[in-house]
Amino acid sequence: MAGKVNRIGTNRPSTTSRVAAAKAARAAAVDSVGGVRGTEPVDEVSRPESPASIAMKSLELDGTKAADLKVRVEANERALDDLQKVQSKAGDIADKAAEATPEAMNTAAGKVDQLLEEGVSIANRKAEEGGFLFGGDQAKEAPFEAQKDAKGKITEVSYRGSSGVDVEELGSGFSVTTDIPGENTGVAGAIGLVKDSRTGGDLFGNLISLRDNLLTNEKEAIVERDIPALRKDAEHLIQHFGEVSANQMMLDTVVALAADIQTEDGQAMSTIDKLGNIQYALHRATVDNRNFIQQDPLRPVN
């Protein structure tokens, strides 16, 4: 029987463990920035100002804007956590289907229907300022619309938003994109929330396929088609968690730097030293995501 969607027994870490590792790395980087403000103040002495201190004072950063954007990114992360739970539950159902009775498969199909409803609700969440989180740069209406049959079952989920995103400037060369489009079927731009042509993710389409195959007792189709497809959805979501972690580190860095610019205790240059490590972490997150997207699409996922 095919392996579980959460990759138990493979040589790849699970979605949960990889997401936890990304969050831990982000927290460590943030601590390294904020920690400098807890050091003992330097005695005031007459000495030449260091190049690092001069560079710090030349920065012009909008810490207030960065803090506001962080609220948006945290909302994105909560939605991703919930979508990951939807994907994981669907993966468990698909894994058990090969040995399930027709009655059990019919019951499981009903559970997938519930997961579909839940997933669409998550994807249509609003931000605190009122717009929709995942509508792209045109988030005026609910980005996802579910079409249903006479029995009330979802047969298709259409995306009505855009694939474009806004870039927020924070000053002194710092910028961040906090928008996540619901879908992106093009060859460039931000990764779509639930569907993207480059990663192969298509969560709603794969949930519908699993539900239909459960109802018709198509065990072979579930093993050969649905389990690998849901595995791609797991990897797809990991890309989003990487982007969110990078954005969190960027925003926390700007907030910390903006606060240190206001201090007069001589500790600003310590933050400059820490910044190099965080810039490297952001660079690695970007490179890792790019490498994943550029993988050979014909290569099997373990």
Using CB atoms within 10 A of its CB, is residue 39 exposed (0-12), middle (13-18) or buried (19+)?
Answer: exposed
> Quick check: is 187 in a domain?
yes
Q: What pLDDT is stored for residue 77 in this prediction?
A: 95
CATH number at residue 171: 1.20.1330.10
What six digits make up the tokens of 69?
């954007």
> Quick check: is 48 in a domain?
no
Residue found by looking up tokens 């996540």 in the block: 180
Q: What pLDDT is stored for residue 133 in this prediction?
A: 93
Residue-wise pLDDT for 261-296, tens only, equals: 665 554 544 555 555 545 555 555 555 555 544 444
> Quick check: is 8 in a domain?
no
In angstroms, the CA 89 to CA 254 distance is 37
> Quick check: is 221 in a domain?
yes
Please tell me the total count of domains within the chain: 1
In angstroms, the CA 284 to CA 282 distance is 5
> Quick check: is 93 in a domain?
yes
Q: What pLDDT is stored for residue 154 in this prediction?
A: 97
Contact in structure between 194 and 183 (CB atoms under 8 Å): yes
> Quick check: is 299 in a domain?
no
Residue-wise pLDDT for 77-104, tens only, equals: 999 999 999 999 999 999 999 899 999 9
In angstroms, the CA 32 to CA 21 distance is 17
> Quick check: is 174 in a domain?
yes
Q: Which residues of the chain have pLDDT under 70?
A: 1-59, 138-139, 261-302
In angstroms, the CA 258 to CA 171 distance is 10
Give the structural domain span for 199.
15-20+57-293
Q: What pLDDT is stored for residue 35 in this prediction?
A: 41
Q: What pLDDT is stored for residue 50 in this prediction?
A: 47
> Quick check: is 62 in a domain?
yes
Q: What pLDDT is stored for residue 4 in this prediction?
A: 40
